[in-house]
Structure formats: C-alpha cells, structure tokens
Amino acid sequence: MDKRLEAGSMLPRPASTLYRITSLPPPPPPPKDEGYRPSTATTRRTSYSTTMSTRKTIIKYAAPGGRFAGTELSPQPSDDADDPLNWHQWKKELNLAALLLTACLASAMKTALIPANAELVSRYQTSYSAVVALTAAPLLVSAFSGMGSVVAAKVVGKRPVYLVSTVLMFVGSMWGMRTLGSYREAMAARVFQGLGWGAFDTLVLGSIYDTFFEHERGLRITAYNLLSTTITWGAPLFGGLASRNSGRFTVQFEIINSFFAIALPLLALGTAESNFDHAWSVSLQTPSTTRQFGTPNLIPRGPLRISKEDVMAYLKSIPPWGYRGFADTHTLLQAPRATVAPTTVLVAAATAIPHAALWSMAGTLALVFPRLSEAGLGSLMTGPVLFSAAIVAVSWLYRPYHARFNTVVNLVTLAAGTVLFLTGVLSFGLMTSKGLLSAETGDGSFNYPLLSFLLGLLAAGSATLDATVSPLIYSSSQYISSNLYACLRNSADMTAGVTALRTVVAGVVLQTVASAVEDGRGALAPNVTGLAGGQVLLAVVVGGIWAVFGEAVRRWDGRAMGLVDLSMLRKGGSFFEYD
C-alpha cells in the first residue's frame, strides 16, 4: 500500500467522484407500527464501493429536525467514538472558539507595533528600519515555525503544538512589556511571539477539516478568515485609539496580554486532539458493528445536568498528548512536499506581492507621515479593515465558486484582484510622494481619508486574489488524492504551504521597503512601481500556466507530493478503506 507509482502512470479519479454518493436520497421513515426512530438514529442505506470491492458500505445522513436534515454527511464518519466527526456539537464549537480566540491574539500581536514605530525609534535610539525589523523578523520566524508545526502535528498531534505555541506567545508578550529600554530584549521577545504565531497560521484550517462536515465548514472557515483579517489590520486602528486615550502606547500590549487570562485556560480545557487515523478506523468497520449516528444538537433539550463523572470523563478525553503518529520519512515530508508542489508555488506567487505590499505600506506609515500621532496612523488602516472584510464576506456568499473550480472564473478573479491592487498601490505611492515633494516647498498636505481609501483598495485586491487559493488547491487535491480524508489533509497542507511562502515574502518585502524608504527620505513611488510591475508579470505568467497547462500542473502536484498511487487497487479494496 505504501509503494508509490511514478507520475506518468494512471491517475486516480478525482476524490469528489469517489466519496460523494448523491444518487441515494435519505430513506423515508419506517411505518408507524414500527415506531419512529429517535432524532439521533442512523439513516442507513446500503451501497457498494466504487472499485472492485463488493463490501457493503453504510451511508450516513444528518439527523432529522435541523436545517440540514437528510444531508449526506461528507466526509462519512467512522464508527469510533473518538472520531472528531462524532464529537458532540458543543465540543466541536468549544474547540473552534478556543482556537479562534488564540488566533485572534496572534493576529493582533503581529501589527501591534505599527502605530508605535516612530516612538520606538526615539526610545531605542536606533534607525527606523531596525524598528521595522521588530515586525519583519517575527514574521519570518512564524513562517518556518508554521511549517514545523504542520510536521510536528503529524507525529504528536495538533493539541500539543497549540499548547506549546500559546505558551511561547504568552512568554514573548509578557517579556515584551518589560523590554522598553533594550532593543535586543525587545527583538528576542518578538521572536518568541513569532514562534507561537506559526501554528495558528497553518493548523487551524486543518482542525476545522478534522471536526466539521462539508455543510458545516463554510461558515466556520469564513469566520476564521474574517477574524484573522480584521484583527490583523484592525489592531493598529484600535491600538492607536487606546494609546491616545491612555497617553501611552504600551496600553495596547496590556490589553492583548489581559486576553491571555481567558485564552490559556480555554485552550487548555476546550481544545481536544482532532488528529484521527480514518484509514485505520474504516478498515476495521463492518455494517454489523456500525453504531447509530446523527448530528447532535448544540444545546440538549431539557435542563442541562452536568455531573462530576461527566466532567472527569471530559478531562480524560483531552490529555496534553493524546495522539501517536508515525515519524517515518513519508509522514515528515508530507508538508514540505505540499509546499513545493507546483499549485502551491503558483498560488503563492500570484498572491504574495499584494499581501507583502499591504504589510510594507502599513509598516512605513510612521516614516511617511511623521506628523501623525499614533491614533492618526492607526486611523489610516480603516480602509483595509473595511474593504478586506467585505471581500472575505462576499467570497463566502458566492459559495459555488469555492465548491467547483472554473478556469474562466478563476482568471477573472485573478485579473480583478490585480487591477484593484494596482489602482490602490500606485495611487497611494504616487500621492504620498507628491505630498512629500510639496512639503519641501512649504505647502504640502495630505488627504488622509482618501489615502485610507486607497489602502483599502490595495487590501481589497489582496483579499480578492486570496479568493483564488481555495478553489485552485481543492481542485488539485481532488485530482491527486485517493479519498476524501486524504483530499482534506492535502488541502490543509498545501494551504499551509501557501501561508508560509507568503509570510516569508511579506517579511522580506516589509524590511526591504522600509530600508529603501528611509534612505529615500520617505519616497514610496519607486518601491510601489516595482511591486506593481512584479505583480503584473506574475499574474500573467500564473494565469497563462493555469489556462494552458492546468491538468499537467495537477499531475506534477501528484508527483511532487508522492500521491500518484493506485497500489491499493491490486488488493481489490475500496478507496474508502485505504489512504
């Protein structure tokens, strides 16, 4: 089963044609004289696997009575009570809430220093580019720690990685409060924070895939993306206001640190291990042992009674380390292979420059507008917060775009995102350069609301390009994966690879642009021109490759990731049984 075929051999059919059995509607309820089954009963119907196997498979549906009553569950849960898909709904939501809260803290810490850059220059008696490094360096660290987290999670599970990462963030955040007199200590504290950010950048999507069915995931993935975007670019806005009201910029760090009092216990008690070996569980499943299954209600009917035994049983179900994976070469290389897969590289190339440009524009605000207070600098981020949040929400509403890849729609989205980015970044750079030139003659002024709007267009372009990530990756993962569980795992790994690659580019571009702007006395025009030209070139190249060589790219994905594998067919088994 572990032996891999070469990329030139026959490819498996897309996973979507293997695990989805849409021709079987939910069976009607039994006759009244047999008694109606309870709401948590399994809706059973027998079908045969899509390969040579004649083994019967139980198709499970959502329990009656809810919005998705009768919906075929995708992926199909196993019969194991430890399967995260079989968790009670309150446990799933508690796990997600704990992860989202900690991810929001990580997002807020990334941009917390942006409105205070000018004050930090005078406090540390150093250059502006050195102060910007307090943001760029932890970004670079988080990219590598994120990939390390994905690799470690396959061996020890996601829960230990989350716990260790949160502790690192907490230590770095508390240490940062006491380093206002030492630049070196401040950098060390920020590196600790960056080590913790990585896990919440790369693993949360995989946790959502682990615990929620297809019809439940869309809203929760959008909530994660929306919160990450708005908190990242909203932190300077609200941090600047808090600094103005309190008279000191450190108050925003105090606010962030106070939330750890909630996040730490919530993560420790609310986050359960979501790694689960479905291939092993399904291989042991037979119709005679299949237990009844239904989607439990979030709030049970009647009074809620929690006994001491219930609490102890729950605590036993969330040990610090509850997963034991295989530390073989193939497992350890899954995430790195996904990162260098052609689709991952192409998607990262098409979206990295707008993402990095927004970071670099935000990081140089205090240098370009030295007369603005921290609150004024933060207010310039109003446009990015509103525009990016709107694009993320709209992309979720247009759900067919994410459910089915369409080359034409993807190319239109790529072009629209590039146009928005070019409009925003070029206008912002040229207007600021013109204002600086006028200031030298004594009559310079800036239209700050318009500049915030232009930054919003830049952010809208970046968010629009981000909308191409999910369809492209999921389309490729369907093509190269042998079953749905492998498809979701590969999608999460490839998305983590895109995140890591873009974060590396963001850190490098942020530091480079800050140094160039400092040497050029605040002029942004040459830098934004270079970023715009690079994005046009990459968009044309990536769009052309996908339009002409789309299937070939997916085949190379399978080869790069070692997933072109039909060896299980020689065993006469089902794709549902093996991974």
pLDDT the model gives residue 7: 37
Report CA-CA distances (Å) from 59 to 70, 87, 276, 290, 292: 11, 18, 20, 11, 11
pLDDT the model gives residue 347: 95
> CA–CA separation, 433 vs 469, rounded Å?
33
pLDDT the model gives residue 521: 66
**Long-range contacts of residues 437-440, Cβ cutoff 8 Å, at least 24 apart:** none
Cis peptide bond upstream of 138, omega within 30: no
The alpha carbons of the chain give a radius of gyration, in whole angstroms, of 25
Domain-located, residue 25: no
pLDDT the model gives residue 564: 53
**Residue 181 sits in which domain range?**
84-275+328-569
> CA–CA separation, 63 vs 36, rounded Å?
13
One digit per residue, pLDDT tens: the chain, 579 residues? 343 333 333 343 333 333 333 344 455 554 444 433 333 333 333 333 333 344 455 788 777 766 777 777 878 888 888 889 988 888 999 999 999 999 999 999 999 999 889 888 988 999 999 999 999 999 999 999 999 999 999 999 999 999 999 999 999 999 888 877 889 999 999 999 999 999 999 999 999 999 999 888 888 999 999 999 999 999 998 888 887 777 677 777 888 889 999 999 999 999 999 998 876 554 444 443 333 444 444 334 444 566 667 777 777 778 777 777 777 788 889 999 999 999 999 999 999 999 999 999 999 999 888 888 888 898 999 999 999 999 998 887 765 545 566 788 889 999 999 999 999 999 998 888 776 655 554 445 788 999 999 999 999 999 999 988 988 998 888 888 888 888 999 999 999 999 999 999 999 999 999 999 888 766 788 889 999 999 999 999 999 998 899 889 999 999 998 865 434 333 333 344 444
Domain-located, residue 135: yes
Amino acid (1-letter code) at residue 429: G
**Beta-sheet pairing, 56-58 with 46-48:** antiparallel
Which of the 8 DSSP states describes residue 328?
-
Domain-located, residue 527: yes
pLDDT the model gives residue 438: 54
pLDDT the model gives residue 306: 65
Which of the 8 DSSP states describes residue 299?
S
* Total domains, the chain: 1
Domain-located, residue 334: yes
Domain-located, residue 72: no
pLDDT the model gives residue 526: 86
Domain-located, residue 371: yes
**C-alpha 99, offset from chain centre:** 12
pLDDT the model gives residue 241: 82
Sign of CA dihedral 243, 184, 503, 97: negative
H, E, C per residue of 16-52: HHHHCCCCCCCCCCCCHHHCCCCCCCCCCCEEECCCC
Domain-located, residue 343: yes
> CA–CA separation, 120 vs 128, rounded Å?
8
Domain-located, residue 177: yes
pLDDT the model gives residue 524: 84
Which residues does residue 56 pair with via DSSP β-bridges, in sequence order? 48
Q: What angle do CA 511, 202, 419 make, to 5 degrees?
A: 55
Report CA-CA distances (Å) from 89 to 100, 213, 428, 489: 16, 11, 47, 22
CATH of the domain at 165: 1.20.1250.20
Look up the pTM and report it. Answer: 0.83
457 Cβ contact partners less than 8 Å away, ≥ 6 residues apart: 383, 387, 420, 421, 423, 424, 427
pLDDT the model gives residue 491: 93
